[in-house]
Amino acid sequence: MQFSAILTSFALLGALILPPSVWSRTAGPESSTADAIILDMAQAFKQRDRKRLSSMLAHVRGHTLEPWAAYWELAARLDDASTKEIQDFLARYSGTYQEDRLRNEWLLQLGKNRDWTAFEREVRLYRMNDDRSVRCYGALTDYKTRAADVGKLVADTWLSLRDADEGCAAAAEQLLDDKKLDRHIAWLRARLGMENDRLRVATQAVGMLDERWTKTVNSIYLNPGKYLSDKLTALRPQTREFVSLALIRLAYLDPAEAAVEVEKLRWKAQLTQEERSWIWGVIGKRAAQKLSLDAPGFFAKGQAAEMHEDHLVWLARAALRMGNWSKVLEAIAAMPEVMRADPTWVYWKARALLKLDASESNRTQARQLLAGIASVRGFYEQLALEELGQKITVPARPEPLTAEEKETARQNTGLARALHAIRIGLRLEGVREWNYHTNLHVRGGLDDRGLLAAADLACQNEVWDRCINTSDRTRGVMDFEQRFPLPFKAAVLARTAQIGLDPAYVYGLIRQESRFIMDARSGVGASGLMQVMPATAKWTAKKIGLSGFQPRDINDRDTNIAIGTGYLKLVLDNFGGSMPMAAAAYNAGPGRPQLWRGQSGAPVLEAAIWAENIPFHETRDYVKKVLSNTTNYAALITGQPQSLKARLGSVGPRDASVPLPTEDLP
């Protein structure tokens, strides 16, 4: 429909449009025509078409999604908007996600413009408080107006950012100029940029120390070997740092070559212990990510206390892979406290204690550690249960929701707005708004009972991703039927029975892949419930005898389930029934898990250790979550206690005596 036709049709609804003053107390008129204008405005916002947005705004007053429309119109011209226009918007839509979202963007603009008076006034009203750039601007405001000591806050926040930003960089630069922040912090930031292949991070940090040095950093990034081959003799402090950056960059590209280079006498003699340890940490990390047996030896050449936390994680993983339990303990002991408290490292610390010393004191400490995390909440929590001799069972359901609790959720205008946005195709906007209104740290956020009621509302509307994610956040109670719903149960059970596939495994995978969103589409083109790629769908349809398949059919529920389960069964058979390896193959392609299982002579590993050593963060997380989901779904479907360990098994090099399948999986 042309936009002019939309407006003409919408004009006929004029009598139904509510005055702006009551939009927040009741839903506005809903119609396909009104929704079409909202969708057109969403597209215009993406294109930053200010004129189009302004011309449409008046026609959606009173609509449920009016706050979104008004936000798009003003956000598209925020640079030019007057303070009065912004304040009027914030007042009109007070308490909404859109108010807080716009204030977030305005705070970034105020910080960039160094308007500290307005920033300080507005930041007090900012409820989300989750933007790290805003946090850094806030620290800079405190420093400017009250001479507050904000060095540690700025340093910690700046070093935690993966990419270059304006807010934390501005705060760091000011503190560096005033000698309130050690120059070493800037070099650490540059190191992190170089080892994570973020050139802009490195040049931004070094440029704060001396703008002329950015040219050197660029040269190092492009050719670290050439920089190191130059006739560098007595190293000044900054030259040592440049050498460190070059060795780090070389380690990113080729850890074995970097290991040879850093052993050269001129570097060993002139680099500090801290510099050498960091470099060995990077070399070890990159070698561990390549599953090299040399990784533990590389790590051993540095001191764990001088390494970055990311190096320590990979030191622990490499030690697990080699069965060096004392090194596992050493790596965990060197981690920051918050990281040591993660269930991953609590579990492996307990296991290491039991492996190293079977004394009563060690067993007691290990049991205490395991008991502190044991539950059905996640992968390592479930493994902790089993280490304590318990199985995975369905927890008792919480008290049923009352009619009042359900009605409170239905009357929540933010949740209603989110559901409407999702219903008409604005999923990203709807998800953001839903999450905002269910977060406890936001004023008006929900406690456990409120989360259960909100999850129930989403379930009743078959918005399964919000149902699952909202119920997942309860702490004191768990409703497994919300957390692990069984949509399309008849279709899934019939299909899995037909091909001999565990339905719990299929549900565990779908929950992780799409959260049961039938029209889900990934950034790389995977589609539907089981997120099947077009080429894979075509290949699988042929293999399973699905005649007449067309690419458009992949979004049909039953077709997607048939193809997804068919491919999963082929992958599972290809990996000898190993659920962890098949899950990794489903996520990262079948070729990579074959490499990750190791060459001939590599150790046979507990699958939990194998999964923890998967080089790709996404796949590592995916495998653990799919297997954890599967175990919980099995408990739900069968009503019987379950074992995660039994599903994990072990992973080792392929048995050369067993022929590979004759077909290559896509």
Q: Which positions are annotated as active-site residues?
A: 513
Cα–Cα dist 229/571, whole Å: 48
d(CA 468, CA 485): 8
Dihedral over alpha carbons 496, 497, 500, 501 (to 10 degrees): 30
Among 568, 567, 565, 564, which Cα is nearest to 555's?
Answer: 564
What is the enclosing helix (H) or strand (E) of 606? strand 605-606
Name the phi and psi angles at 378, rounded to 5: -165, -175
Type of residue numbered 234: A
**Cβ 87 vs Cβ 53: under 8 Å:** no
- Distances in Å between the alpha carbon of 238 and those of 290, 431, 605? 31, 47, 44
In Å, the largest CA–CA distance within the chain is: 84
Please name the amino acid found at residue 533.
M
Is residue 601 within 8 A of residue 291, CB to CB? The reply is no
Type of residue at 217: V
Q: To 10 degrees, what angle do helices 167-177 and 97-112 make?
A: 30
Q: Is 77 helix (H, G, I), strand (E, B) or coil?
A: coil
Amino acid 112 reads K
Q: How many CA atoms lie within 13 A of 488 on its CB side?
A: 23
- CB 108, CB 78: distance < 8 Å: no
